[in-house]
Amino acid sequence: MRQLLPCLLFTAWLVPLQVQAEETIAVNPESETEPTAQSMLQVKLDELQQRLAQSEQQREVLAAELNNNQREIESAQLQRLRQDNQRLKLELKRVRTEQPAPLVSEQQMWFAIGGATALLCVLFGALLRGNGRKRSGWAN
């Protein structure tokens, strides 16, 4: 009987533990199927990688559109500048044809300036030379 008593006590002690374990499993049967923290992080990581890939694709599309818009703007500016350049060339031609021709060309102007300078030099030389006789203040 003494051997039977510890066995009964041990069994009586184990039964409530087993019942409590069954209740825990019954209350939370999804605990085995519930994702772990690591699998949740992996799912989140996969989701973020997909969003990154989508963002990269959208960025590439927007960059291509921006390049196209810039090219269109530059070509429009280039065309406008060419038209302005053509208009200014025509206006310059028109102004040149309306201007009267100069009376004296640049080469003739320099020739006249050179002749006038030579004439002035001759006149100053004649004035500085005097009557033609030499006076020497030292000889007296």
Convert the pLDDT of each residue in 86-105 to its tens digit: 999 999 999 988 888 778 88
Q: Is residue 43 part of a domain?
A: yes
pLDDT at 64 over 90: yes
- If one counts the domains in the chain, the total is 1
Least confident of 31-35, 63-67, 112-116, 130-134: 31-35
pLDDT at 3 over 80: no
User: Where do the H-state alpha helices sit in the chain?
Assistant: 4-27, 37-98, 106-129
Task: Over range 67-89, report the average pLDDT.
Answer: 94
CA dihedral 20, 25, 28, 32 (to 10 degrees): 140
Share of the chain above pLDDT 70, in %: 68
Decide: 88 and 95 in contact? Cβ < 8 Å: no
- For the record, the structure tokens of 34 come out as 């519930």
Q: What is the pLDDT of residue 83?
A: 96
Residues 6+ apart with CB under 8 A from 112: 104
Q: Is residue 102 part of a domain?
A: no
Q: Is residue 12 part of a domain?
A: no
Q: What is the pLDDT of residue 127?
A: 87
CA distance 88 to 67: 31
Q: Is residue 66 part of a domain?
A: yes
Q: Is residue 90 part of a domain?
A: yes
Q: Is residue 40 part of a domain?
A: yes
Where in the sequence is the domain holding 91, given as residue range(s)? 36-96
Q: Is residue 86 part of a domain?
A: yes
Q: Is residue 57 part of a domain?
A: yes
Q: What is the pLDDT of residue 102?
A: 78
